[in-house]
């Protein structure tokens, strides 16, 4: 999925979900290994730094996970997010476009991907 499509999906989503978390993980350098133990298929997630994780972080429902992703990918960029009166969120990272979404976590995820997309141009 192209970053622009994922950003649009994040901004249109009514709430965060695991499918979006997996898409974000794949777009931001996480890898996935399929392990077959006793005929049971399961995934082992590999962070960009090679550390193992049992599952993709909950980027779209956890501001902490989204914030940690922003710090990992853009350690020298400043940014922020806001809760708006209607419960939605807005977020921005230095030099990238501002993003709005149904929740602050979704908005921060969209802003992270917008910054990645801009850096890739």
CA angle 58–63–91, rounded 5-degree value: 120
Q: How far is CA 15 from the centre of its chain?
A: 13
pLDDT, position 46: 72
Structural domains in the chain (count):
1
Q: Containing domain of residue 7, as a range? A: 3-28+57-120
In this prediction, what percent of the chain has a pLDDT beyond 70? Answer: 86
pLDDT, position 31: 77
pLDDT, position 9: 98
Backbone φ/ψ region at 84: left (φ over 0), alpha (ψ -120 to 50), beta: beta
Q: Is residue 45 part of a domain?
A: no
Q: For residues 86-91, give the mean pLDDT.
A: 95
pTM strictly above 0.95: no
For residues 21, 106, 9, 79, the Cα torsion angle rounded to the nearest 10 degrees is -110
Q: Is residue 40 part of a domain?
A: no
Q: CA–CA separation, 91 vs 79, rounded Å?
A: 7
Q: Is residue 44 part of a domain?
A: no
pLDDT, position 100: 97
Q: Is residue 105 part of a domain?
A: yes
Q: Is residue 50 part of a domain?
A: no
């Amino acid at each position: 999925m192209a970053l622009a499509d994922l950003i649009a999906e994040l901004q249109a989503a009514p709430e965060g979900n695991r499918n979006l978390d997996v898409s974000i993980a794949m777009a931001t350098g996480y890898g996935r290994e399929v392990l077959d133990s006793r005929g049971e298929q399961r995934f082992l997630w590999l962070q960009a730094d090679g550390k193992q994780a049992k599952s993709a972080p909950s980027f779209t429902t956890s501001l902490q996970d989204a914030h940690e992703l922003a710090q990992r990918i853009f350690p020298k960029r400043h940014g922020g997010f806001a809760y708006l009166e209607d419960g939605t969120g807005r977020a921005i990272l230095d030099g990238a476009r501002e993003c709005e979404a149904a929740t602050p976590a979704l908005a921060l995820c969209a802003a992270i991907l917008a910054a990645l997309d801009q850096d890739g141009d």
